[in-house]
């Protein structure tokens, strides 16, 4: 099945985090969340709508100390706008999913580069479009993502991304059926309390949810953690 892109719309909601999340020099207490709505079609009268969303975290993709948080967020919105223009441009006529994605990604990186955005920031703009396109394409087919991957409906050609991936059959790397369960991983920020006793009384949330890492492990059985560390070896 071929797919084309009809429209792309953005919606932004500003939210506050439940806990301050410290990573590197940034402490995230509030962030805009960008929602993407993409209408796709097959050129034969059928259409569907795909969605994606992500927060716009400052200092996540661009560590330039000369840029403040406001500039970081503006750059992420600019990257998303570059992605929108690029995917609308290459998706005017229905084509195979992978061809559309590869052209859209390449044009997004090229377009964001003219605004002096780094590669990670530009890739973020493309990834928002990619996720919405995947969602819309799967709905258009009437199937879920796993089947689209397993049955090669996306026509992924890894060697066109990197020559070392030549002869790699993407679908062979997948199990015969989707996983029945997954594990939850907790990200531990630099300011997160490790034990209940580390929480100052005036900072206790008392909202019915765990606050310390100790409590997450005890109350919800979390066993996997991604721990943010500082580059200050004296700490």
Helix (H) or strand (E) segment spanning residue 185: strand 185-188
- The pLDDT value recorded for residue 235 is 62
b/e sequence 115-144, b meaning 16+ C-beta within 10 Å:
eebeeebbbbbbbbbbbbbbbbbbbbbeee
- The pLDDT value recorded for residue 27 is 86
Distance of CA 138 to the CA centre of its chain: 18
> Residue 167 is encoded by which pair of tokens?
């002869």
Strands 26-41 and 2-23: antiparallel
- The pLDDT value recorded for residue 13 is 96
100: CB partners within 8 A, 6+ apart = 3, 4, 5, 87, 90, 91, 133
Give residue-wise pLDDT tens across range 33-46.
999 999 999 999 99
Helix (H) or strand (E) segment spanning residue 4: strand 2-23
b/e sequence 35-71, b meaning 16+ C-beta within 10 Å:
ebbbbbbbeeeebbbbebebbbbbbbbbeeeeeeeee
Domains of the chain, each with CATH number or no CATH: 2-173 (3.30.390.10), 185-227 (no CATH)
Q: What is the pLDDT along the chain (235 residues), one digit of tens a residue?
A: 999 999 999 999 999 999 989 887 788 899 999 999 999 999 999 999 999 999 998 888 998 989 998 999 999 999 999 999 999 999 999 999 999 999 999 999 999 999 999 999 999 999 999 999 999 999 999 998 899 888 888 999 989 999 998 888 878 889 999 999 999 999 999 989 999 999 999 999 999 999 999 999 999 999 999 998 887 777 6
Dump the DSSP string for 80-97: HHHHHHHHHHHTSS-EEH
Question: How far apart (Å, rounded) are the C-alpha atoms in residues 28 and 25?
Answer: 10
């Amino acid at each position: 099945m071929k797919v084309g892109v009809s429209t792309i719309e953005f919606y932004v909601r500003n939210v506050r985090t439940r806990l301050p999340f410290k990573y590197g020099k940034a402490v995230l207490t509030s962030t805009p969340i960008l929602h993407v709505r993409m209408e796709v079609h097959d050129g034969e009268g059928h259409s569907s709508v795909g969605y994606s969303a992500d927060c716009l975290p400052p200092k996540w993709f661009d560590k330039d100390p000369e840029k403040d948080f406001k500039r970081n967020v503006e750059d992420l919105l600019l990257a998303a706008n570059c992605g929108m223009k690029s995917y609308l441009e290459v998706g005017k006529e229905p084509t195979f999913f992978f061809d559309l994605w590869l052209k859209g990604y390449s044009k997004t990186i090229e377009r964001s580069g003219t605004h002096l955005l780094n590669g990670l920031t530009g890739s973020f703009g493309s990834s928002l479009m990619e996720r919405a396109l995947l969602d819309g394409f799967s709905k258009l087919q009437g199937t879920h993502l796993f089947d689209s991957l397993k049955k090669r409906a996306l026509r992924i050609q890894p060697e066109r991304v990197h020559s070392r991936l030549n002869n790699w059959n993407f679908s062979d790397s997948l199990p015969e059926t989707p996983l029945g369960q997954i594990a939850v991983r907790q990200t531990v920020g630099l300011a997160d309390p490790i034990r209940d006793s580390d929480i100052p009384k005036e900072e206790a949330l008392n909202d019915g949810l765990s606050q310390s890492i100790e409590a997450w492990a005890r109350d919800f059985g979390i066993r996997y953690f991604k721990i943010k560390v500082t580059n200050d070896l004296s700490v």
